[in-house]
Amino acid sequence: MKAVGIDVGKTALDVAVHGDSAVRRFANTTVGIRKLLKALIGFGELRIVVEATGGYEEAVLNACTEHGLWIARVNPHQARSFAKALGQLAKTDALDAHVLAEMAHALHGRMRAYTAQATWQVELRGWLRRRHQITEAIQRTRQQCAMTLPVIRALMQKTLAALRREQALIDRALRELLQSHATPAKRSAKGLGPQFQASMLALLPELGQLTRRQIAKLVGIAPLNRDSGQSHGVRRIHGGRAEVRVALYMATLSAVRWEPMMKAHYQQLRTRGKVAKVALVACMRKLLTIVNARRRDEILIASTTT
């Protein structure tokens, strides 16, 4: 088994093999990835690791998956921490490739192989990303309108109108995709609106396939221990998928107001002395657990009927 690390850049892919000091560079293009695959297939059984780079890694991930190669994507913070643990404080593309190869060699048994998403999921994620950008632009422009000249404010109002029109078009596209692909589990409680459903479909494909503790940790709402010897620190949430967590937070805000079970759970936590934010995070965890269990049941039913 060969362990391979690929440091992904906008224009280049730096490839290192564990135990080999050489680093090969390929263009991050269709032709370059084709050459990379030709070189990798000659190694036999592989464990490949790449960093998440905001989308530049998706082409090589999908190409490797299509050709049946095992490949995993890791969080850049995790890779940097691993490098520091190795004593590797310097950072270059070549060094990062070697660190990822070392990571593939040592930790591949603890990683999940990347699974290519369906075309509609990729489309849904693109619409969600654009909607987030539009929402930020609208908020920023509205704030700036109050601090500028009347003539400029009139121009900014036109910009706001154009942004809102685009937002409406995006919402229409999201609704069409949700009508085709959203399952009852993702809209089975009050508060689980279109933004929550879209985020679960596009950004949390593991829903229903993990335990409640695993899915909570993946989203970043699981309280993590901070104990050492006789010391017992305060448990806090950390890490996880921020975009999913934001969607879950907004859904929970609605659920604790309008969903009787979630409302009762929140009030019980507050009565026991939990501060509002801690109680709300606990409700987020409960809501995610419910949706995860219902989605798991859907998958089981679908597998038994096919």
Which residues are registered as beta bridge partners of 47?
Answer: 3
User: pLDDT tens, 196-217?
Assistant: 999 999 999 899 999 999 999 9
Q: What is the dihedral of CA 175, 179, 182, 186, to 10 degrees?
A: 70
Q: What is the DSSP string of 91-109?
A: --HHHHHHHHHHHHHHHGG
Q: pTM of the entire structure?
A: 0.84
pLDDT value for 306: 64
Mean pLDDT in residue range 51-80? 92
What are the angstrom distances between the C-alpha of 76 and each of 7, 46, 49, 137, 235?
Answer: 11, 21, 11, 27, 24
Quickly state the pLDDT bin for 117 (edges 50, 70, 90): confident
d(CA 204, CA 302): 19
Q: Are 124 and 177 in contact (CB under 8 A)?
A: yes
* Poorest-pLDDT segment among 24-28, 196-200, 299-303: 299-303
Instruction: Count CA atoms closer than 13 A to 270's CA, side-chain side.
Output: 11
In sign, the C-alpha dihedral spanning 88, 93, 98, 99 is positive
Residue pointed to by tokens 């780079």: 53
When pLDDT is averaged across residues 259-286 and rounded to a whole number, the result is: 94
Choose among 82, 114, 111: nearest CA to 99: 82
Question: Residue 3 and residue 16: Cα distance in Å, rounded?
Answer: 9
Q: Which of 16-30, 147-161, 183-197, 225-239 has the lowest mean pLDDT?
A: 183-197
Q: Which of 75, 37, 24 is nearest to 53 (CA)?
A: 75
